[in-house]
Structures are given as C-alpha cells and as structure tokens.
Amino acid sequence: MIKKRNLLFSIIGLCLFLTACGTSTNNSNKSTTKTTVHNTKKQENTASQTKKQNNNDSQKNNNQAATKQNSKGMNLDEIKNGNFAGIAGNWQELGSMSPKFNDGNKIKPGGDNQLTISNGDLKSNDITLTKDSLTTSDKSNPVVFNSSGNYLVAALQDETAPINWSVSFYPKNTTAKFSSDGQLNSNDLIAIWTSNNNYTEVFTNNN
C-alpha cells in the first residue's frame, strides 16, 4: 500500500514538474517573440529615420548646388582664371570715349556694338579674349591679367605692340570713370581700350 502511495506521489510530482517546465518554456518563447518584434520595429524606425535624414541632406545639397549654379555676377578671381560663366551673355554698348573725338574724357552715350561672352571667351567686333590671349583680325597676342584697385585689367604682354589693347572689368559700385553725373556704376561694366586714337568702348549687361 505504501509503495502504491509513493508511486502515486511520484507520478503527481512528475506531472507538476512537467507542467512547470512547459509554462516556463511558453513564457520564455513569448518573451523572445516580444523582444524580436520590438527589435524589428526599432530597426524599421531607425531605417526610416536614416532614410528621411539622407533625403533631407540630399535635398539640401541640391538646393545649395542650384543656388551656386544660378548665382550671377562679375567675379574677378574667376575671370582672371579664364572662367567667364558669371558674366556670360550679350552685353550692350553703353557709350564710347576718345580724347580725339569727344569733349576731353567724357563718355559719349550710345552705340550699337555688342559683346558676346561665353564660359571661356569674350568677343567684340574687333577682338576675342580668352585666359591666355587677345586675338585681333590679324594676330593672337599673349595677355596678362592684373588687378588694379577694385577692377581687373587684361593687357597685352607686349606693351610695345604697334596697336595695343586692353579689356577692363568693373564690378558694380567701383568706378565713376564712365559716368556723366559722377556717380558710381550701378551695373557691371566692361571697357575695351585700344591705343588706336586712344579709343574706349564701354559695355553693360543692364543687370
């Protein structure tokens, strides 16, 4: 009788033990599943935030590049290096001056000549200017770019040439030389000078 009772207790104890192990295993599986789901959602949120940040950074860089690309103006350092992109376009003649033809050094308004400027050269009716040369109808002449105060001058290396030339670049508000009222220039200006009759043509982009 005692043996049967002990056997019964052993069986009951074994059942209780197995039940406890099963509960522990289920709880462990539930905990693992919950942790995995939590980590997956966390990774998804992190990936979404990273993607959003990358998109924002990309848009910011694109906006900065567009702003830089669209900026226009007379940058003397760029011009000195042969980059005319900031002043590219068609420039209209503002006027001309020559002590031989005009009243002293006063500018004579008007004229229908044009400058055509691309990224790498400047062309008038008489000359073509690049980073390295100034070409007339009969000769290509090496040039040097020199800063003179607030403006830039491209001049022939050979100052003893029979007919000399220079091209001067004046950003806004840097000279009153070509003004009839003594005011500083409100637009960028380009002046082409030749020693032939000491003649200067002045061009503006009206911007």
- pLDDT: which is higher, 148 or 171: 171
Rounded CA separation 55/64 (Å): 14
pLDDT band at 9 (very low <50, low <70, confident <90, very high): low
pLDDT tens digits, 60-102? 454 444 334 334 689 999 999 999 999 999 999 999 998 877 6
CA 107 to chain centre: 36
Single-letter amino acid code for the residue at 182: G
Residue 19: predicted pLDDT: 55
Residue 147's φ and ψ, nearest 5 degrees, are: -80, 135
Average pLDDT over residues 167-180: 94
Rounded CA separation 155/133 (Å): 9
Rounded CA separation 86/84 (Å): 6
Per-chain mean pLDDT for the chain: 78
Q: If 0-12 CB within 10 Å is exposed, 13-18 middle and 19+ buried, where does residue 82 land? A: middle
Residue 97: predicted pLDDT: 92
Give me the residue label for tokens 């669209």.
Answer: 70
Rounded CA separation 130/192 (Å): 14
Average pLDDT over residues 26-46: 53
Residue 99: predicted pLDDT: 84
Pull the structure tokens for residue 174: 């840097």
CATH topology of domain 76-204: Lipocalin (2.40.128)
Pull the structure tokens for residue 166: 């220079």
pTM of the predicted structure, to 2 decimals: 0.65
Nearest to 207 by CA among 69, 97, 112, 89: 89
- Domain range annotation of the chain: 1-71, 76-204
Residue 137: predicted pLDDT: 86
Average pLDDT over residues 157-173: 95
- Tell whether the torsion through CA atoms of 130, 136, 142 and 145 is positive or negative: negative
